[in-house]
A and B are shown apart, each in its own frame.
Chain A
Amino acid sequence: MIKREILNTLRQTALTLSFGLLLPVVYWINEQRLVENKPFGHYAEFGAMTLLVFLVLNLAYTMFASEDKDGAGEYLKSLPIPKLRLLCMKILPRLLVSLFFLFGYVFTVSPLASRFTTGEYFVVFIPTLVVMLSGFLLGISDRKNPFLAGLLLLPAFYWILSGPLAASIAGGILMKHTNFIYETTGSSIAQMRFCFDASQLTMNLLPTLLPVAVLLPLYRKWDCSSGKLRSQEMLKRLILPTALILTITYIIFNIPADWLR
């Protein structure tokens, strides 16, 4: 089974990355067309980033594509493979391939390469993991439900776009309110560390992982019953985490300036 999943992952990866062959063509066309064309490195950087985002999304979305295409869902469920093992077999090859290319991009092509620190590995790892888990959950429910697919992608976008800002605002507010404790001890570094960790955990990590965390227990009951029914159940469970993400996003983008002072 794992062999099959690895082969499927590599096949999907090769197919997605083969679109990269279009880059030199686009560059060449623009070279003929434009008076001042950008250097090829610019095309490579932008193209690689777009392809990698598409690769991660595609690997996640097609996690159960072969079962759907072959009509093998019932057969897969009849195999005595423990649920956790199946989850790992589906996710790990795709996660590893995604991280390999994403980190490859970060350390070679991306302008962030020189600024990348150890803690920032999570910046790439967490959304990739969340997207893979979301792809898995979509696969065991109804892959053709665009609304569910959209909602399952929301946490990854939150982690990239709103989460860091929410965490830094919350960290700032926390610093302000914990000043009186640390003023007596004089340990400002410890205070900063605490505020940073607490705000990262509550405003960034928890809202990002919450949707997947409330849906994963449904996998325990995964069986031959209607995938549509399961997707309805998922949508119901997603209401609160989604509301939380949207509320935080709304607040941080509408926060009064004097709060930040």
Chain B
Amino acid sequence: MIKLDNVTCGYVKKPVQQGITFEIEEGDVLMITGPNGAGKSTLLKVLASILNPTAGTVVYGWPSAEDPRKFIGYLPDSLSIYRSMKVKDLSELHWNAFGVKPQPLPLLAEASIEKESRVSELSLGQRVIFHLSLILSTHPRLILIDEILHSVDVHLRNLALEALVRTMADENPTVVMVNLNYTEIEHLVNRVVFLTREGILLNETAENLTNSRNMTLSDILAENMNSIYSKKRQEVSE
């Protein structure tokens, strides 16, 4: 279980989010959604242990003596990766850092990625697939994916989602995805956190949400988003 307790975070002195508290159960597939600027990606960085919260704590459910990053696979929206390196060299670097043995990356062939190519020569979609392959090859207990799948074409996106589903079935990792496009991942998600600039608006299991409102998850989330923006419009016009 991962527990965020009263977390305040941001990049500069002014925090993006304050006093965030919620828990993620082992094996949960959580979608964090909400309007732009709500701090979804920032929160994901805190979970990825690459941004220290300015207040509060994040407790992971694995041995605290270990570096949490060892068990985390993080795919950022900025697609931060050594672009000047060759695919095979970067794979080696990644495996060395995580202390795992070199292994075949079957997704690469499916996405027509040559091992001798430089990462900078790959298309955006291919880079996403390559980065995702690297992440999955370390068998993380927590997979964090930030929006990036939106910018990938349908074929590669399906490839990525299939790989993710396979990993979820085989290894039962906890998955946290930041997403604005609900329909594609709706069937994967079992919990939703709707984040606004004021904090958590909604933190509920997908089942409870759909049963209580008698609507699809996408419709519920779209409704929330619309109500936030119409409220904002009203505030501006007043």
Task: Report A's interface with B, CB cutoff 8 A.
Answer: 1, 3-4, 66-67, 69-75, 77-82, 221, 223-226, 229
Which residues of A sit under 8 angstroms from B67, Cβ to Cβ? 80, 82
B194 at interface, CB cutoff 8 A: no
Which residues of A sit under 8 angstroms from B45, Cβ to Cβ? 74, 224
Known: A66-B82, A80-B70. A225 touches B97 (CB 8 A): no
Stretch of B46-54, B199-207, B221-229 with 4 or more beta carbons under 8 angstroms from chain A: B46-54
B130 at interface, CB cutoff 8 A: no
Complex A-B: 16 CB contacts under 8 Å: A4-B85, A4-B93, A67-B82, A70-B81, A70-B85, A71-B78, A71-B80, A71-B81, A71-B83, A72-B81, A75-B80, A79-B94, A79-B97, A80-B70, A225-B12, A225-B51
Closest to A82 in B: B67
Quick one: CB contact mask for B79-119 with A, threshold 8 Å, 1 for yes?
Answer: 01111110001000110111100000000000000000000
A80 touches B78 (CB 8 A): no
Task: Report B's interface with A, CB cutoff 8 A.
Answer: 10-13, 45, 48, 50-52, 67, 69-70, 72, 74, 76, 78, 80-85, 89, 93-94, 96-99
Known: A4-B93, A79-B94, A223-B52. A73 touches B70 (CB 8 A): no
Judged by DSSP, the binding face of B is loop
Closest to A78 in B: B74
A1 touches B93 (CB 8 A): yes
Known: A221-B52, A224-B51, A225-B51. A79 touches B80 (CB 8 A): no
Say how far A171's CB is from chain B's closest CB, in angstroms: 45
Which residues of B sit under 8 angstroms from A4, Cβ to Cβ? 82, 85, 89, 93
Closest to A220 in B: B52
Say how far B234's CB is from chain A's closest CB, in angstroms: 34
Say how far A78's CB is from chain B's closest CB, in angstroms: 5
Closest to B69 in A: A80
Which residues of B sit under 8 angstroms from A77, Cβ to Cβ? 50
A79 touches B98 (CB 8 A): yes
Say how far A162's CB is from chain B's closest CB, in angstroms: 37
A1 touches B50 (CB 8 A): no
Say how far A81's CB is from chain B's closest CB, in angstroms: 5
Which residues of B sit under 8 angstroms from A74, Cβ to Cβ? 45, 50, 76, 78, 80
Which of A75, A80, A81, A225 has a CB less than 8 Å from the CB of B52? A225
Which of A71, A78, A82 has a CB less than 8 Å from the CB of B50? A78
- Ranked nearest first, the 9 interchain pairs of A and B with the lowest CB-CB distance are A74-B80, A80-B69, A80-B70, A79-B97, A77-B50, A75-B80, A70-B83, A224-B51, A80-B67
A223 touches B74 (CB 8 A): no
Known: A71-B78, A226-B11, A226-B12. A80 touches B97 (CB 8 A): yes
B84 touches A224 (CB 8 A): no
Closest to B96 in A: A1
Say how far B208's CB is from chain A's closest CB, in angstroms: 33
